[in-house]
Chain A
Amino acid sequence: MTARMKLGAFLWATGHHIAAWRHPKAHVNAGIDIDHYIQLARTAEAAKFDMIFCEDAAGLREANVGIASQTSRSIGFEPISLLSALAVQTSHIGLVSTASTSYNEPYGLARTFLSLDHLSGGRAGWNLVTSASPIEAANFGSTGLKPHADRYERAREFAEVVTRLWQGKAPGHDGQSFSVHDPLDLPRSPQGAPVMVQAGASDVGRDLAARTADVVFTAAQTFEEAKAFYDDLKGRMAAYGREPDDIKIMPGVSPVVAETEAEAREKHEELQALIPDDVGVALLSSYLSISDLGRYPIDGPLPELPESEGMKSRQALVVEQSRRDGLSIRQLARHFAGARGHWRIVGTAAQVADELQARFEGGAADGFNVMPSYLPGELDAFATLVVPELQRRGLFRRDYEGRTLRDHLGLKRPA
């Protein structure tokens, strides 16, 4: 049997488009409605998605209150409690939550995810992030955001301790950032260990992923970028004694799909028309780690930027795109507002499937993390239009292979 693509349903309250909450059909109180999420999880499970994926930030997304109040992103569920609730309301789908190595302790985090894993019968995954935002940092002390390299060094030590704990071992660890003595007081995971996911794509980020991750989530605009990332990461794995197939690379993709291409474009334009300029520019600034993009002429080019201490990889992606396509700040902001630098496809199910198939078969992705523009509408559209098309082409499963997330992803059980 040829390999099938892996699919994640990346759920973000009202949807990924920055203006999603304003869409007439978006579920506006998504951030306080557990039933909305239960419904989304069941939709994704019925469509045989490998997993649900939740992002996280331990703080507001936007420093400026005037901007924040025009988005839905300042409130939402804390994802580990959210997924624990979903664990007993679903039976097969994987449940992956983001959690930061910068603002947690390995013993507590390992224990919490293992509990989620037991509640779900072996369907939990942890998306390791190092947290790039100074807004979050201010909730955990007065010293501000730590340098990129320091955050990753802590992340490496953190991941090492968590891995040992999940193996049922006593870490007896006295390291630079942590000391942890005992083994976990919970039994081993039903899937050997929860799945390790990683988002972050800088050089050190890739090395950490090559060493520890089972799944890597990334942002790439073009086929060439996606392919280069894929080959580079798989190429780094031998150094850590691992096989290329031990990691599933799943770039984000935000499709806007409809029965006809014209309808899909119309739907997309409808969302684009709802973006206030200052909100779009602020979103772009936050990912570029620059506070004052608003003082440059909105119809002029992106200025030269100092290298980020926040998200190095995303800054590089945006700069590259602005130069490649000759985009003004406004154009770039409007483009970015749709999926924060992730790949967007607007079209029919066949067109979306063609594009996904090309990247999958071209060796640029093992699957995709699907980022619905607004919810629940765009998840429903993907489930009812695109999934059957992928199944017809033999590119996606018709039923789950097993019960655990590792089963779905075709990952080895850790020793």
Chain B
Amino acid sequence: MHLAISLDIAAATGEAVLDFSRISKFVRQAEAAGVDMVAISDTADGLSSSPFEATTLLAALATVTNRIGLVATASTIAHQPYNLARRFASLDIISHGRAGWNAMMAQSPREAANFSRPEGFSDTDFRRRSEEYIGIVQGLWQGWDADALLFDKSGGRFHAPEKMHLLDHKGEFFSVRGPLNVARSPQDTPVLVLSGLSEADFDIAVRTADVILLESGSVESAKARFDDLKRRATAAGRDPDAVKVLTNISLTAEDKPAATADRLETQFRARSCDGFNIELPAQRSAIDDFADRILPELGQRGLVRESYRGTTLRSHLGLAGGGDQ
């Protein structure tokens, strides 16, 4: 089963604020336990006292870890698609193919107010804009063929001209010429994670996402949704296994390790998901508890891998793409 851990760095206030050394220690513990990826989210709507923004934190974490996937939330309101595509392509190179972008499908009113969009977008506009945005970002990520760079010093050919492609996108919300001025990602494209989905976003998600994060519900409803998403992926012409569906699980510090493991195991065996995204409050006690007690329990039951087979996030998730598989 795939296992992601989400750390909401913005949710912490006061004493609970995590500094870089504490966050990196936790991410290394998760790496030692074979967790697929850690997702950093910082999009809390209220005030927080976390000192970090997710993409910058991810870059720093990339240099102190080796294997674990690193996913950062970045909103489609806060960045222009060209800039965001560049940021994540760069993060992927810095992490040697371990980066992912978590795009929120729900818009945050606070963001709209601070990003010169006081009225925000209507839901349908936001949905169309998001799909266009994601298409641009993924298109930019594919602007350079895998063998475009020649590094031919004596011949004076740095890259093969025909292996660099313009995007030339002209759409309803954006116009972007491209190509990206960052090289192709080590895993071809960074992993796209979608979260905050409503029913109406599902078709966009199965067309574009590598990973879908879903809110938890009963095992039955989760199973029905899981099957529905896989069916939709097939209908969209994709291998259903190319879209990993993870169920969000919120853990509180008091959870008994055995009870938590039971819960995950039951849901997983019912084939209601490809794995889980454990949402941890950014508090020392919660993350210590998770690292020291729950992860070992999951390991003992064989629910998480003992070690990584490959080096890229795509390989951890069993997704096709560059890098090793």
| Chain A residues close to B by CB (< 8 Å) | 21-24, 26, 28-29, 31-32, 34, 38, 57-61, 65-66, 68-72, 74-78, 80-82, 84-85, 87-89, 103-105, 107-108, 111-112, 114-116, 118-119, 135, 138-142, 177-183, 185-187, 274, 276
Tell me how many residue pairs across A and B have CB atoms closer than 8 Å: 185
Q: Is B182 on the interface with A (CB-CB < 8 A)? A: yes
State whether A59 touches B59 (Cβ < 8 A).
no
Q: Which of A60, A70, A119, A141 contacts B181 (CB 8 A)?
A: A60
Return chain A residues, CB-CB under 8 Å to B57. Answer: 84, 115, 119
Q: Is B87 on the interface with A (CB-CB < 8 A)? A: yes
- What 0/1 readout, one digit per residue, does chain B (172-194) give for beta carbons within 8 Å of chain A? 00111111011100000000000
State the CA gap A23–B151 with chains docked (Å).
11
- Nearest CB in chain A: distance from B162 CB, A: 8
Q: Is B78 on the interface with A (CB-CB < 8 A)? A: yes
State whether B176 touches A139 (Cβ < 8 A).
yes
**Considering the complex of A and B, which 9 residue pairs feature the smallest CB-CB distances, nearest first?**
A84-B59, A118-B51, A115-B53, A78-B90, A138-B177, A84-B56, A142-B175, A107-B114, A139-B82
State the CA gap A81–B48 with chains docked (Å).
23
State whether B49 touches A187 (Cβ < 8 A).
yes
Closest A residue to B118 by beta carbon equals: A179
State the CA gap A83–B44 with chains docked (Å).
25
25 pairs of residues in contact across A and B, judged by CB atoms under 8 Å = A28-B151, A58-B83, A60-B179, A68-B159, A69-B157, A71-B158, A74-B158, A75-B149, A77-B93, A77-B182, A81-B55, A88-B24, A89-B63, A103-B83, A105-B78, A108-B78, A111-B53, A119-B60, A135-B177, A139-B82, A139-B177, A179-B113, A183-B47, A187-B49, A276-B156
- Nearest CB in chain A: distance from B38 CB, A: 16
Return chain A residues, CB-CB under 8 Å to B94. Answer: 34, 77, 81-82, 85
State whether A185 touches B113 (Cβ < 8 A).
no
State whether A112 touches B55 (Cβ < 8 A).
yes
State the CA gap A276–B152 with chains docked (Å).
14
Q: Is B280 on the interface with A (CB-CB < 8 A)? A: no
Given contacts A81-B91, A107-B78, 15 further A-B contacts (CB under 8 A): A21-B158, A22-B153, A28-B153, A58-B82, A65-B164, A72-B158, A78-B83, A81-B94, A87-B60, A104-B80, A105-B115, A115-B53, A138-B176, A178-B116, A180-B115
State whether A69 touches B175 (Cβ < 8 A).
no
Q: Which of A68, A81, A177, A182 contacts B116 (CB 8 A)?
A: A177
State the CA gap A108–B56 with chains docked (Å).
12
State the CA gap A118–B157 with chains docked (Å).
41
Q: Is B121 on the interface with A (CB-CB < 8 A)? A: no
Using known A-B contacts A85-B59, A179-B116, determine if residue A78 contacts B87 with beta carbons closer than 8 Å. yes
Q: Is B205 on the interface with A (CB-CB < 8 A)? A: no
State whether A31 touches B183 (Cβ < 8 A).
yes
- What 0/1 readout, one digit per residue, does chain B (188-210) give for beta carbons within 8 Å of chain A? 00000000000000000000000
State the CA gap A186–B89 with chains docked (Å).
25
Q: Which of A59, A69, A179 contacts B164 (CB 8 A)?
A: A69
State whether B160 touches A69 (Cβ < 8 A).
yes
- Nearest CB in chain A: distance from B171 CB, A: 10
- Nearest CB in chain B: distance from A84 CB, A: 4
State the CA gap A182–B164 with chains docked (Å).
41
- What 0/1 readout, one digit per residue, does chain B (279-291) give for beta carbons within 8 Å of chain A? 0000000000000
Return chain B residues, CB-CB under 8 Å to A60. Answer: 179, 181
State whether A75 touches B182 (Cβ < 8 A).
yes
Return chain A residues, CB-CB under 8 Å to B181. Answer: 57-61, 74-76
Q: Which of A76, A112, A178, A187 contacts B182 (CB 8 A)?
A: A76
Return chain B residues, CB-CB under 8 Å to A116. Answer: 56
State whether A115 touches B52 (Cβ < 8 A).
yes
State whether A182 touches B51 (Cβ < 8 A).
no
Return chain A residues, CB-CB under 8 Å to B160. Answer: 69
Using known A-B contacts A69-B158, A75-B149, determine if residue A32 contacts B183 with beta carbons closer than 8 Å. yes
Which residues of B in the span 81-103 have a Cβ within 8 Å of any Cβ on A?
Answer: 82-83, 86-87, 89-91, 93-94
Using known A-B contacts A78-B90, A182-B110, determine if residue A112 contacts B158 with beta carbons closer than 8 Å. no
Closest B residue to A116 by beta carbon equals: B56
- Nearest CB in chain A: distance from B96 CB, A: 8
State the CA gap A250–B159 with chains docked (Å).
34
Q: Is B79 on the interface with A (CB-CB < 8 A)? A: yes
State whether A32 touches B83 (Cβ < 8 A).
no
State whether A88 touches B116 (Cβ < 8 A).
no
Q: Is B237 on the interface with A (CB-CB < 8 A)? A: no
Closest A residue to B60 by beta carbon equals: A88
State whether B63 touches A38 (Cβ < 8 A).
yes
Q: Is B39 on the interface with A (CB-CB < 8 A)? A: no
State whether A107 touches B56 (Cβ < 8 A).
no
State whether B79 touches A108 (Cβ < 8 A).
yes
Return chain B residues, CB-CB under 8 Å to A186. Answer: 49-53
State the CA gap A66–B209 with chains docked (Å).
35
State the CA gap A77–B95 with chains docked (Å).
12
State the CA gap A186–B47 with chains docked (Å).
8
Q: Is B161 on the interface with A (CB-CB < 8 A)? A: yes
Using known A-B contacts A142-B175, A182-B113, determine if residue A75 contacts B183 with beta carbons closer than 8 Å. yes
Q: Is B170 on the interface with A (CB-CB < 8 A)? A: yes
Return chain B residues, CB-CB under 8 Å to A103. Answer: 80, 82-83
Q: Is B10 on the interface with A (CB-CB < 8 A)? A: yes
Q: Is B270 on the interface with A (CB-CB < 8 A)? A: no
Return chain A residues, CB-CB under 8 Å to B44. Answer: 185
Return chain A residues, CB-CB under 8 Å to B52. Answer: 115, 118-119, 186
Which residues of B in the span 255-290 have a Cβ within 8 Å of any Cβ on A?
Answer: none
Return chain B residues, CB-CB under 8 Å to A75. Answer: 144, 149, 159, 181-183
- What 0/1 readout, one digit per residue, does chain B (137-163) give for beta carbons within 8 Å of chain A? 000000010000101011011111100
State the CA gap A158–B312 with chains docked (Å).
38
Return chain A residues, CB-CB under 8 Å to B82. Answer: 58-59, 103, 139-140
Closest B residue to A186 by beta carbon equals: B51
